[in-house]
Structure 1
Amino acid sequence: MSTVSASQSTSPSVAKSVATVVEQLQALGLETYRNTIRKHGAQEPVFGVKIEEMKKLMKPFKNDLAFACALFDTGIYDAQYMAGLLADGRQMSADQLQHWVMTANSHGIREFSVAWVAAESAHAEELALAWIASGDEAIAATGWCTLSSYVAITEDADLDMGMLKKLLKKVQADIHRAPNRVCYCMNAFVIALGSYVSELSAAALQAGQTIGEVTVDVGDTACKVPFAPDYINKVAQRGSLGKKRKTAKC
């Protein structure tokens, strides 16, 4: 399917399909799960649909980017998460991805759904670096998450090692004074380099040791900020250092 502009109007058939799926999502929502994801930053409207239920609804819309983009444009947390699972980032333009990052429901959508599809796209490095340079905490955090997903799914031979080394040094210098979400995502970037990029694994491990424990306000959740060296060492112990993922999505 060809790429659809973010500004292009939605066809009546796509709009009807989106309306039907939104009704289905609303019916599948669970109050307990809704409360949980709200604690993790989801903003209204949010239904509380579990991911396995979303995946059941996705089957008729495989490779339908127009549907995924229209679903994202509802602004509903669950619909945007499902759109991120459904969309093929390789089909998406830089304008579409910029539209997604600017209209995402919450940091959960930006740092997962948007980062996933951006990492798949031909614009991954360009957008990630532009977002990191943004003065907006939410956008900058998305840039770091995009790179984390990108290195996880991209062969080392296709990575700009010089750029990644510079960014690792930047994290080491800036992480403890970075804004909350940026700090969290910088730490995840160190872990991603150490886990997925063989050439930089040792450097990431050393950087993590130098950085030390990272403190982030995770709100009213049970989330913990992983200590990067411990995480990287666990990956090494199971023999998975440098092993790429087929997809960043989960």
Structure 2
Amino acid sequence: MNLETVMQELEALGKERLKKMYMSNGAHEPLFGVATGEMKPIAKKIKNDQALADQLYATGNYDAMYFAGVIADPKAMTETDFERWIDAAYFYMITDYVVAVTLSETDIAQEVADKWIASGDELRMSAGWSCYCWLLGSRKDAEFDKDKLSGMLDLARTTIHDAPERAKYAMNMFIYTVAVSYVPLHDKAVETAQAVGSVEVDKDKKKSKFISASTNIQKALDKGQIGFKRKYVRC
């Protein structure tokens, strides 16, 4: 399949209701409004095709950019490629669920994510923290440096309330993910979540809201989910 045929198939799957929903979350034209599950039959035909993924991503069409992440070959991507992708990622659903997810399947994931977290740029920070969530939720505990993750919990604890908007969401999720998916620091993550408390987000909207890692950690505890690891990161 080539770029033109994939774009035609994606357009045929578009739904106005989903398009409006995606736009309410920050997506903008061009986009079709394709349910992610409906992309799977096309993905099965293509499997991994990095050249096609890059072409799709470059269209700027939200659905095409998302599908690019589904068929990408992460091992074929360099840091330069990820920088190009993050530069074009204009809202969190692309940074956190396309770029960060794809990055998490590489050997350079932590190295690149660390740079993004330290960048001070809202969407890069969001992608960096999110990448660690995908990593922790899928890789064995032994693959991580406990001291490094402990330091990241400390960083989240001291900076989350003043962090950029989307970074707050990702940092909150990081604290939760460490508590649930990285057993060696479960207790510290629980303590960190309690110390952080509720985090106010969406201050620029008519009504702000509060998110809490503690609340979600307790739900995971109640369901016996501590130690959870997912088999696949990408859909």
TM-score after normalising by structure 2: 0.93
Structure 2 gap ranges (5+):
none
Matched ranges for 1:97-246 at <5 A:
97-217=82-202, 226-246=211-231
Question: What whole-Å deviation, never above 9, does each CA across 1:151-192 have from its counterpart, x for those lacking one?
Answer: 111111010111111110000000111111111111011111
Query: Post-superposition shift, 1:225?
Result: 5.4
1:5 maps to: none
- The answer to whether residue 46 in structure 2 is matched with residue 73 in structure 1 is no
Tell me if the contact between 2:176 and 2:217 (Cα under 8 Å) persists in the aligned partners. Answer: yes
Tell me if the contact between 2:156 and 2:171 (Cα under 8 Å) persists in the aligned partners. Answer: yes
Tell me if the contact between 1:77 and 1:105 (Cα under 8 Å) persists in the aligned partners. Answer: no
- The answer to whether residue 74 in structure 2 is matched with residue 96 in structure 1 is no
Q: 1:28 to 1:223 in 2, by over 3 A?
A: farther
Q: 1:86 to 1:131 in 2, by over 3 A?
A: same
Tell me if the contact between 1:208 and 1:228 (Cα under 8 Å) persists in the aligned partners. Answer: yes
Larger mean CA deviation between 234-243 and 70-79 belongs to: 234-243
Query: Post-superposition shift, 1:43?
Result: 2.0
Count of aligned positions: 235
TM-score after normalising by structure 1: 0.88
Percent of aligned pairs with the same amino acid? 36
Q: 1:41 to 1:231 in 2, by over 3 A?
A: same
Query: Post-superposition shift, 1:64?
Result: 1.8
Counterpart among 4, 15, 21 of residue 36 in structure 1: 21
Counterpart among 37, 41, 49 of residue 64 in structure 1: 49
Q: 1:113 to 1:218 in 2, by over 3 A?
A: farther
CA distance in 1, matches of 2:90, 2:175: 26
Structure 1 gap ranges (5+):
1-13
| Amino acid in the other structure paired with 1:214 | V
Query: Post-superposition shift, 1:69?
Result: 2.0
> Alignment RMSD, CA only?
2.1
